[in-house]
Structure 1
Amino acid sequence: MKMNKDLDLTLRENKYSNKSTILLFIFTFLSLSLALVFNIKNIGNTDFYTYLAILAVVVLSTSLVSKLTKADNILVLIVNMLFTIGVSMIYRLNPSYGKRQLQFYLVGIALFFITFFILKAFKFWSKISIFYVVISVGLFVATLVFGTYLGGAKNWIVIKNFSFQPSEFIKVPLAFFVASFYARYNEIVSKPFGRYYMEFVILMFIGFLFLQKDLGTALIFFGLMILSQFVYEKDRFFIAFNIISMIIGSILAYFMFGHVRIRVATWLDPWTDINKTGYQITQALFATASGGLFGTGIGLGHPDYIPVAESDFIFSAITEEMGVFMGIAVILLFMILVYRAFKISLTQQDKFFSTLAFCIGVLFALQTFIILGGVLKVIPLTGVTLPFISQGGSSMLSGFILLGCLQYCATNIKYGDETNE
């Protein structure tokens, strides 16, 4: 018995030692990267030490996650690693954007804990599906009325110097809506037309996104609906119907929206108009190829040649100056994040939170695949961000809200030999 206790204590010590090593790596990598960037950009030492101190507090605060949430903090560690890679490159491209990204990150960490404790405080989340629909429709209507066209889509609300993207935040009530539907599946389908409830609501959301011409987010919503039905729905008719609907919708979008036709043409052959429509994607491909395995080094490449490199094409900037190995590391980190979400879903006994964890994992996976596929010219480019890496407050804050939800879903779950304190 004593040997078992000693072994368990050794496992715990090794686990926390490994996580401390990861935290040290995160902080060291960020310190060295920012030091190089601040030297290249000739930014004052005061700014450097100020923002380094903020990052030290925030990064090291992840050690409190397991104590405050009583769940594993590996999710926050993964996101911190993604963030350190992204913010270093954003600072290198545009220091003012880098400062804002740090501020959004601080707010995001606060929202992470707030979300966790709100979910813990109330227990009615599976019973208010209509509330999620009302919130989502309200945000869609506000976007249509007050929204501004950027990049061909009307998906931003701009108020003086403040702007945000409502569709990023709608992902949160969408995930909750799908989870509440399947948590009360038998009750809902027993009502007239109850089995069509989720189908109708999500297709209505996608209709709003078509009106806004925000087809990247529409694709994410479609993907979430199809994958959740594949896992939880007994009637396979819905899956076939939605796949056909997605194909028809894509064809309609091609003929209805000029910017979609341009993006498809650019995807098929960007070289014919390399100085105009094909300029962005070709520069991104040149950047990825020129970096090689280990990159040119921070400040020694030309990612600033890529339009909007700090947002849509930040992956190309990372692979140019940090190498293909860093690009592979980014992809692996996202794979681990999605894997953990699915593992939480399989382990969680509560149907609502199990489904919620699955939906969050799918949202992260789809968004990552769509933007990386577009940047690498695997699929036509769509205007979505790379979670936790791309510059942008809406994406960062909504991502941390979803992460807080996922952290709560992991509460009191044991993973093999791991024990949550």
Structure 2
Amino acid sequence: MYANPIAYGFSCISVLFAHIAMIVNIYFNGNYKDTRDVAILGAAVIIIDISYFIIMLFFRQASYALDFLLILILNMSFIFQSCFGEVNFDIKHLVTCIFSIASCKAGYVLCRNHKLLQEKKKLIYGAVTTVLLINLLVDLIANEMWIKIGSFTIQPSEFIKPLFVLACATSIEEQQRKHKILFMNIVYENITLLVLTAAICLVQVKSHDYGSLPTFLGIFSVGFLLRICYPKAKFSKKKLASVIAVIFVFLLIGLKYAPDYVQHRLHVDIWSDKTGDGYQQSQALIAIAKGGWFGLGPGKGYLSNIFAYKNDIVFATISEEWGLLYALMSVLAIVIMTAVPLINPARSYYHGTISACVCAAFTVQMALNIFGSCNLIPFTGVTIPFLSSGGSSMMVSGFMIGMLTACLSPSFKEPQHKKQEASVPAWRWQE
């Protein structure tokens, strides 16, 4: 289905207007040395907008809502990142935004055909295992979570997320392939997924990447729930209660035997330790209060001097310079992106489970970052999708939006080998 020209044009104008309004705000209220810096930033944003509007027309989709929201939030993020401390064109973040757009289109193309994805399930499990091993090797050899390539860093654990979403995705047909073991009907794939989740958690703990654990557990919880509670499923409430109880017990064990620095973060009073572990959170809260609803002005904030201001506490950095209103609007745009596939349900149960798992990942990440910055939960250092800087995070987030777009515009083509089998004459089968 091609885009409605009127709706498409109106959406293009709305996105352009939003970005131009931000550039105007920088011109009148920003901290910059030369007006050419503002002009160059504005020109880059407008060129990216128009280029993407044209690129979108080459993809046949049932809906372009997610694409418009994606380019809206990406260029908002590019403007934010180019203004922290002083208006300065952030070429590195621009490159990651472009990669995010490209990975979005790749995710759309690769995830449209759910039949093909189901057939390649073993390859997906293999890919997750391979990335897990790479993650483990990087930790063992370099004692880090990142692979450094020049000025860019790659975080292998980020690339596990979309693969893990595909591993968690299922169809009703798959869940009906049950095997009786003792007194229980078991789906072998569900057991495999449970083992894979345990392996991911163990590797993340070994790598000391505790912040990513809730995201993976969120994806698994939603995926597993949809596996056992599909329409007309005969599922015992006692079994569901048992699963929840087991998860709760593991959480308690994890909290009890967590390393000392994790235990400290759980109980730290940031106001009595403002120069220690509570430094980032206390400064973030002070900055949000100083910024108020409309901010101090682009480039006029103090948080640009604090460690990880572009990623871990980015919500507070945006709030200080642009105001809490802008920060909430940018987060709302991401929330709407995750809500669109739920408001317009996918046309297959497989794509529906993909949508739910992606939404779970985004929701958990945003909650961890924002609530952590605001001292509502212990500080984790997890990034906000699209708003935080980081090449791996941006690329993976873009790919997952492409997955959501594919769920809204699925392809129901039969796998190629089945078509070839169907075209073989009956007399050949008899031979």
TM category (shorter chain) comes to 0.7 to 0.9
Q: 8 Å contact 2:226–2:353 — kept in the other structure?
A: no
Structure 1 residue 182: deviation in Å?
A: 5.8
- Within a 5 Å distance, the mapping from 1:231-242 to structure 2 comes to 231-234=226-229, 235=235, 236=237, 237=239, 240-242=242-244
Q: Distance in 1 between matches of 2:221 and 2:124?
A: 19
Distance 1:148 1:51, change over 3 A: farther
SS at match of 1:93: coil
1:142 maps to a residue whose letter is I
Where in structure 1 are there 5+ consecutive unaligned residues? Answer: 1-10, 414-421
Structure 1 residue 286: deviation in Å?
A: 0.3
Q: 8 Å contact 1:230–1:239 — kept in the other structure?
A: no
Q: Distance in 1 between matches of 2:253 and 2:95?
A: 41
Decide which of 157, 160, 164 is 1:170's aligned counterpart.
Answer: 160
Distance 1:61 1:149, change over 3 A: farther
Decide which of 188, 200, 206 is 1:205's aligned counterpart.
Answer: 200
Range with bigger deviation, 49-58 or 388-397:
49-58
SS at match of 1:147: helix
2:8 maps to a residue whose letter is Y
Decide which of 118, 121, 129 is 1:126's aligned counterpart.
Answer: 118
Distance 1:243 1:407, change over 3 A: farther
Decide which of 73, 90, 95 is 1:82's aligned counterpart.
Answer: 73
Range with bigger deviation, 186-195 or 396-405:
186-195
Q: Distance in 2 between matches of 1:121 and 1:412?
A: 6
TM-score, normalized by length of structure 1? 0.83
Quote the residue 1:270 is aligned against. 270
Quote the residue 2:395 is aligned against. 397
Distance 1:85 1:183, change over 3 A: farther
Structure 1 residue 117: deviation in Å?
A: 2.6
Larger CA Rg, structure 1 vs 2 = 2
TM-score, normalized by length of structure 2? 0.81
Structure 1 residue 44: deviation in Å?
A: 8.4
Structure 1 residue 233: deviation in Å?
A: 1.4
Tell me the alpha carbon deviations over residues 112-171 of structure 1, each in whole angstroms, 9 at most, x when there is no partner.
Answer: 223323345895101222222221121121122123899xx9422224544211111111
Q: Distance in 2 between matches of 1:332 and 1:397?
A: 20
Quote the residue 1:338 is aligned against. 338
Quote the residue 1:280 is aligned against. 280
SS at match of 1:256: coil
Quote the residue 1:258 is aligned against. 260
SS at match of 2:90: helix
2:68 maps to a residue whose letter is L
Where in structure 2 are there 5+ consecutive unaligned residues? Answer: 230-234, 412-431
Quote the residue 1:15 is aligned against. 7
Q: Distance in 2 between matches of 1:252 and 1:400?
A: 31
Distance 1:120 1:228, change over 3 A: closer
Structure 1 residue 96: deviation in Å?
A: 7.3
Does 1:25 find its partner at 2:23?
no
Distance 1:161 1:102, change over 3 A: closer
Decide which of 21, 41, 53 is 1:63's aligned counterpart.
Answer: 53
SS at match of 1:259: helix
Quote the residue 1:6 is aligned against. none
Distance 1:54 1:89, change over 3 A: closer
Q: Distance in 1 between matches of 2:155 and 2:173?
A: 29
Does 1:98 find its partner at 2:90?
yes
Q: Distance in 1 between matches of 2:32 and 2:315?
A: 21
Distance 1:304 1:159, change over 3 A: closer
Distance 1:219 1:53, change over 3 A: same
2:74 maps to a residue whose letter is F
Identity among equivalent positions (%) equals: 21
Structure 1 residue 299: deviation in Å?
A: 2.6
**Which structure shows the bigger proportion of residues in helix conformation?**
1
